[in-house]
């Protein structure tokens, strides 16, 4: 029996703790990339994050992406291959 992959939960928990988002959605898109580079059967390798947080207010798109990437660098080191980020400030 294999252990369930907790990557999605870890990502959601880490971003929630750091950014206190108004809304957050973490989507496992790994199944859409079967056979592509970085895809590993049974492992979360491709994730899309949609997050709305006051922490992004006044920040450029690049700075917002850097904030999320910095929070999730340990996941990238642990095998997450692709991270799509849609960061918004409230009201956007």
Supply the CATH number for residue 57's domain.
3.30.300.90
Residues 7/44, Cβ–Cβ less than 8 Å: yes
Residue 2 lies in a domain: no
**Over the stretch 39-73, which tens digit does the pLDDT of each residue have?**
555 677 889 999 999 999 999 999 999 999 999 99
1 part of a folded domain: no
Other residues' Cβ atoms within 10 Å of the Cβ of residue 36:
12
Domains identified in the chain, total number = 1
Asked if residue 25 is part of any domain, the answer here is: yes
Residue 28 lies in a domain: yes
pTM value is 0.85
Strands 82-88, 46-52: pairing is parallel
């Amino acid at each position: 029996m294999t252990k369930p992959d907790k990557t999605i939960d870890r990502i959601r928990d880490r971003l929630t703790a750091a950014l206190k988002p108004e809304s957050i959605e973490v989507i496992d898109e790994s199944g859409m990339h079967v056979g592509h580079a970085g895809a590993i059967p049974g492992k979360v390798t491709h994730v899309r994050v949609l997050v709305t947080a006051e922490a992004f207010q006044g920040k450029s798109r690049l700075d917002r992406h850097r904030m999320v990437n910095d929070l999730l660098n340990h996941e990238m080191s642990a095998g997450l291959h692709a991270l799509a980020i849609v960061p918004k400030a409230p009201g956007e």
